[in-house]
Amino acid sequence: MTLLLMGANPCATLFEGDRATAFASVWRVDWSVRGSGHALVLGTPEAVRIIGPDLELAAWLGHEFNRHLTTVRSGIAWREPELTAAPVEFDLDLDHGLFAAADDVSVAVTGPIERFLTRNDEYDLGGVPRILSTVWIPCADATVTEGDRRLRGAPRTDLDAQSSTAFIAEAEVWCTTDHPRR
């Protein structure tokens, strides 16, 4: 296997009834084959935006990962993203949640419900199997703002099942399923 990325990826998908209204995916890349840094990916029914100081890294995260993560997008179509070069503020507290901001977008994922160590050795990433391990932390609430408006919707949360469409993925590691070259 080949290591691709190590970091964190808090996410939120908001819903009104059965319809997804927005998804936000915030990245802290501690190390990757494309470098390190932060990015924010925002999808709405109208547009997909990718924001980060390193647009090459940010675009790779959006195209390689977010466009295939149906658990994040949940019905919002992936389209050619609008790229914006801007710093990403990333404040993660594992007891309370995440606050992130980039350009005119802010994301809060709060109220951790539980913490689980997960591993999937055959995660389907657009038809390419990958290994994903992470500490998955479902959260009770999330808000996303764009410009001066709070985006409509709320995460789907089931406290009995300890699940939510708002979550923190910490200690996230993505690998290929191939063998290293010698």
> What DSSP character marks residue 62?
H
Which among 86, 104, 94 has a CA at the least distance from the CA of 39?
86
Residue 75 pLDDT: 83
pLDDT at 70: 76
b/e burial code for range 34-52 (CB count within 10 A of at least 16 → b): beebbbbbbbbeeebbbbb
**Residue 82 pLDDT level (bands cut at 50, 70, 90):** very high
Q: What is the mean pLDDT of the chain?
A: 95
Does pLDDT of 181 surpass 60?
no
Percent of the chain beyond pLDDT 70?
96
| Share in percent of the chain as helix, strand, coil (round to 5) | 10, 60, 30
Q: pTM of the predicted model, to two decimals?
A: 0.95
Delimit the domains of the chain by residue range: 3-176
Q: What is the CA radius of gyration of the chain?
A: 15
Reply yes or no on whether the pLDDT at 6 is more than 90.
Answer: yes
pLDDT for 54 beyond 60: yes
pLDDT beyond 60 at 180? no
Res 71: pLDDT: 66
